[in-house]
């Protein structure tokens, strides 16, 4: 656990954030709707200034069992089961 949380853009619930791979990457999961985000741990600094690690509005595309997106600027991958 990092002690940081962020607001889910889909349902508004708090997403808990965990560090993985020796603290180099993060994983965030929303218990409300199942949205997941992965990315570099350095991007968690953005949570001090805004409520999300990526605000670029990258479009979700269909994938197996849900939707996914990739932000090349933030290097954040998002998976969700429902398209907002």
CA distance 33 to 73: 25
Q: What is the pLDDT of residues 11-69, one digit of tens each?
A: 889 998 999 888 899 999 998 889 999 999 998 888 888 888 888 888 999 998 899 99
CA distance 84 to 67: 10
Residue bearing the bigger pLDDT, 82 or 63: 63
Give residue 58's pLDDT: 87
Indicate left, alpha or beta for 68 from its phi (over 0: left) and psi (-120 to 50: alpha): beta
**Phi and psi at residue 18, in whole multiples of 5°?**
-125, 145
Find all residues with CB under 8 Å of 37, minimum gap 6, and list them. Answer: 15, 26, 27, 28, 53, 54, 76, 77, 78, 79
Domain ranges of the chain: 5-80
């Amino acid at each position: 656990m990092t002690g940081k949380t962020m607001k889910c853009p889909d349902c508004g619930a708090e997403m808990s954030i965990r560090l993985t791979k020796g603290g180099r990457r993060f994983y965030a999961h929303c218990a409300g709707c199942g949205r997941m985000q992965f990315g570099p741990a350095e991007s968690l600094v953005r949570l001090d200034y805004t409520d999300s690690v990526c605000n670029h509005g990258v479009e979700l595309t269909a994938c197996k069992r849900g939707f996914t997106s990739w932000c090349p600027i933030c290097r954040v991958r998002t998976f969700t089961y429902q398209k907002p």
